[in-house]
Structures are given as C-alpha cells and as structure tokens.
Amino acid sequence: MEKLSTQVAIIGSGPAGLLLGQLLYKAGIDHLIIEQRSADYVAARIRAGILEQVSVDLLRKAGVAENLEKYGLPHDGIEILTHQKKHRINLNKLTGGKQVTVYGQTEVTKDLMQARESQQLQTFYEADNVRIHDFDTQPYVTFDNKRQSFRIDCQFIAGCDGFHGVCRASVPQEKIKTFEKVYPFGWLGVLADVPPVSEELIYVQSERGFALCSMRSNTRSRYYIQVPITDSVENWSDEAFWAELKNRLDEDSRNKLVTGASIEKSIAPLRSFITEPMRFGKLFLAGDAAHIVPPTGAKGLNLAASDIGFLAEAFIEYFNRHSEHGIDNYSQKCLARVWKAERFSWWMTHLLHRFDTESEFDHRMKQAELSYILESFAGQSSLAENYVGLPFEADVKLAALNA
C-alpha cells in the first residue's frame, strides 16, 4: 500500500470538489482529489446552465473566469409563458441591478480541470473502493487506483462526491437527519446545435405540463419537457420531442423554434433533499452530497458553489489564521442558505408543473398564485430576488422599516 498525506482530502471532482481544490491551492493549502470516474467522463457530463452572481464572483476569485467572461451570456430577465402569453420578469430592474449568467456546468468543469492540470495538482481519477475512515479522530482515505492500493492521511475530508457518493453514506444513521421529497415526474432534456428560440430563458406552464427553453450559447440550445418518471428516453425520438415541446409553446415561439438532431438526450428525476448537519467531526459535506434541489430554480450548482465559498474560507481560517470559527459555523451557515434555496426550488416546481394527483381546487389555486405573481410588483420582486440568488446577509433596509 502506498501511503501519502495531505491537509485536505477531497472526494469527488464535480464542480464542488474542483472549485474547493482551486481555492485551497490559491491559499497555499495542500490537498488532493479522489474521483471514481475518468477525467473524460467528468468533463463530458451535461448538467446545469445558469450561474448566479455569487458563483461568478467565486470563479473569478479562484482565477478561472477567463472563458466565462469571454463566452458567458449575461441575462437580465427570464420569460414565464402561461395561457399562450409570455410575461417578462425583469431580473435586473427588480433586484437593483443583478443578473444571471448562462455558462454551462460542462464549461465550468473544463475550466477548473484545465487550471488544475496547468498547476500540476494531483487528482486520482478512476479510483475504486473509495472509503473514508476515522473522521471523528485522525481521518484517512483508502482507495485502489491502477492496480495499486493507497492510504491518504489528512486533517480534513471534504465530501464533494454528489448524491450517490460514499461520504454521506459513511455517517452513522443516528448522527444524521435527512429530509426528502421525490416528485412523480422527471425532465426529458435535449441538447442541440440550433440557435435558441428566444434571447432569454422561457419557463413554460401549460396544461400538458412544464417545459423550459434554455441555451448554452447563441448556437446551442437546451430544452426540457416534463415527463412521467416512469418514461424512458427510448420512447422519445427527436421528432416526438420537438412535437411535444411545440405543443407546450405559444404560437410565436412555435414558429420561431429551430429544431435539429439531438447531441444529448436524457431524463433527470426531480428531488428535494437536505442533510443536517453538514459537518461530522473532520468530515464536511458540500454540494449534491449534502442536498439536492429540483432544477426548476437553477440552484443546484449555485448552492454547491456557495457551500464551497464557506468551506474554503473555513479551511483558510483554520490553516492560515489558526481559528476554528469557520469550521464550527460551516454547517449552520450553509444550511441557512440551503433551506431558502430548497424552498424556492420546491415552490417554482409546484407552481409550474402539472401534478396528476392535484385536485381541481389545487389546480385553480396554483393558477391564481401564478397570475398574482405575474401581475404584482411584490410577487415578481420575490421571484426575481430568489432567482438571482439571495444575499448572504438579511436585508438591512428591513430593520429600518419599523425603526
């Protein structure tokens, strides 16, 4: 067995693990990453598309925003389509100048992997039998790689290994509490090299179910439609997908939609899931390892990034300023933000999707809520404030209201 040691062992090289590695490198903290998949697999995964300002700022701080600044598309608004009519939510004006940026998770991952390679930082890809040990006392990680066994002694373990990872699963049942809601539908997504139907994202509420028109660039589109969770990709030819998407759009968008061969097609299940706490001794969970949101609010990647913002700062305080304040407050700080993003994602999902189990009363209530949101300044402001990402501190202006 080969023995190595490091300050922080990071499990998982998704955006959470890679971003943490980059921020630790910048702060001179020794770390390495252990990933079960190959580098090619990690770089090719198609997932999120929308970055909040705080995520863009973190990527800048990590020194990996060159491509993001060149190719990212800043968006000042989104459209909500209901009853054949589009309503624009002016994110920028409603939030005092904030925006979101369209830049694929695939690109974020590639930029971080490239930075890692040029800095010659160590990643073990295709690691088998990854196990974490003694995270209450003297933590270490074991795994197999290229027919060799490894043991990594470390001061901390960062569990960035996603929803199905080994880190959360290694915590004794009595020390962890989880909260979960599984939705009875999924998103069938198609990626195609066709120009987007509109300059901004369109979230569609229709009697046939939810749809989303998104993009990766001015020449690459990403579309989703709500399908029953029991459905499978093989049931959906490209033609069938485009036909159903058109059925859910308004006439103008239907006429403008450019269709083409899909370059990726998959069904993603929808789930809300939260783990409490997010720290177990010297093990810290971050990103999808700790929580899952349904993608309707575009929050998953952004929550992973904000966890990492807190975790990197906590490790920097510990190693460079000899303070345990950051690591002691990590879980509580993350969870305060996580629950609010979970609430928003759950609410957007309820508002815009068709639930077969809902009564006529529930359905009409949702319609009333949606039309209130779209007709009211307060309603639109609340949606916009959450969509661009909540601030880290409560609004100080609120305290002044009753002063």
Long-range contacts of 244-248 (CB under 8 A, 24+ apart): 244/208, 245/211, 245/213, 247/206, 247/208, 248/204, 248/206, 248/208, 248/209, 248/210, 248/211
Is 177 part of the annotated catalytic residue set?
no
The active-site residue out of 31, 75, 291, 366 is 75
Q: Could you please report the per-residue DSSP string of 136-147? A: TSS-EEEEEETT
Q: CB 37 → ligand RFL: shortest distance, Å?
A: 4
* Binder among 221, 302, 345, 386 for ligand RFL (CB under 6 A): 302
**Between residues 62 and 83, which has the closer beta carbon with respect to ligand RFL?**
62
Q: Does 204 bind ligand PHB (CB under 6 A)?
A: no
Residue 38 and residue 128 in contact, taking contact as beta carbons nearer than 8 Å: no
Side-chain-side CA neighbours of residue 198 (13 Å): 23
Q: How crowded is residue 41: how many other Cβ atoms within 10 Å of its Cβ?
A: 12
**Between residues 171 and 201, which has the closer beta carbon with respect to ligand PHB?**
201
Residue 319 and residue 175 in contact, taking contact as beta carbons nearer than 8 Å: no
* Binder among 6, 10, 15, 201 for ligand RFL (CB under 6 A): 15
Is 299 part of the annotated catalytic residue set?
yes
**Between residues 62 and 401, which has the closer beta carbon with respect to ligand RFL?**
62
**Between residues 212 and 311, which has the closer beta carbon with respect to ligand PHB?**
212
Give the pair of three-digit tokens for residue 156.
Answer: 């901390």
The item of ligand PHB, ligand RFL, none sharing an interface with residue 139, based on CB under 5 to 8 Å by kind, is none
Q: Does 80 bind ligand PHB (CB under 6 A)?
A: no
Q: Assess whether the previous peptide bond of 277 is cis (omega < 30° from 0).
A: yes
User: In three state form, how does the secondary structure of 197-210 look?
Assistant: CCCCCEEEECCCCC
* Residue found under tokens 């020794």: 30
* Binder among 15, 159, 186, 295 for ligand PHB (CB under 6 A): 295
State the Rg of the chain over Cα: 22
Is 75 part of the annotated catalytic residue set?
yes
**Between residues 110 and 358, which has the closer beta carbon with respect to ligand RFL?**
110
* Binder among 8, 9, 10, 11 for ligand RFL (CB under 6 A): 11
Residue 145 and residue 126 in contact, taking contact as beta carbons nearer than 8 Å: yes
* Binder among 139, 300, 309, 326 for ligand RFL (CB under 6 A): 300
* Binder among 189, 196, 209, 326 for ligand RFL (CB under 6 A): 189
Contacts of ligand PHB in 27-66 (CB under 6 A): 48-50
**Between residues 107 and 317, which has the closer beta carbon with respect to ligand PHB?**
107
CA distances from 20 to 173, 239, 259, 274 (A): 27, 41, 38, 21
Site string for ligand RFL, 101-130 (x = CB under 6 A): ----x---------------------x--x
Identity of the residue numbered 48: A
Which positions touch ligand RFL (CB under 6 A)?
A: 11-17, 34-37, 42, 47-50, 105, 127, 130, 160-162, 164-166, 187, 189, 268, 287-288, 295, 298-302, 304
- Catalytic positions are 75, 203, 295, 299, 387
